[in-house]
Amino acid sequence: MHRLPFPPMPSGKRARQQRQQAATATAPPPVRSKGSGGTRSRQASPRALAIAGGVVLVIAIVIVLGVVLTGGSGGSSGSGVVTQQDMQGLGTTGSATSDVALPGAADANALFKGIPQNGLTLGDPKAPVEMEMFIDVQCPICQEYEVSNLPTVVKEDIANGKAQLHLKPWAFIGAQSLTGRYGIIAAAKQNKGFEYAKVLYDNQPANSENTGYLTGKWMANIAASVDGLDLAQWKSDVNSAETKATAKAVDQLATQKKVDATPTVLVGCTGGKLQNVTTPQLGPTLQNTQQAINAAAATCK
Q: What are phi and psi of 34, to 5 degrees?
A: -100, 140
> 34: pLDDT confidence band, cut at 50, 70 and 90?
very low
Instruction: Give the confidence band of 180 by pLDDT, cuts at 50, 70, 90.
Output: very high
List of domains in the chain: 63-82+91-299 (3.40.30.10)
Nearest to 207 by CA among 16, 4, 3: 16
Residue 51, pLDDT above cutoff 90:
no
What are 232-244's pLDDT values in tens digits? 999 999 999 999 9
> What would the pLDDT profile of 109-156 be if each residue is shown by its tens digit?
999 999 999 999 999 999 999 999 999 999 999 999 999 999 999 999
Average of pLDDT values for 273-292?
A: 92
Report d(CA 91, CA 89) in Å as an integer. 6
The reply to whether the predicted model has a pTM over 0.85 is no
- Checking if the pLDDT of 270 tops 70, the result is yes
Conformational region of residue 72, where left means phi above 0, alpha means psi within -120 to 50, and beta covers everything else: left
Q: Which of 182, 187, 171 is nearest to 255 (CA)?
A: 171
Beta strand segments in 20-144, E: 32-35, 38-41, 117-118, 121-122, 129-135
Is residue 15's pLDDT more than 70? no
Q: What's phi and psi for 114, nearest 5 deg? A: 85, -5
Q: Is the model's pLDDT at 8 over the cut of 90?
A: no
CA pair distance 243, 239, nearest whole angstrom: 7
When pLDDT is averaged across residues 267-285 and rounded to a whole number, the result is: 91
Query: What angle (nearest 5°) sits at the alpha carbon of residue 226, between those of residues 225 and 231?
Result: 90
Amino acid at the residue 193: G
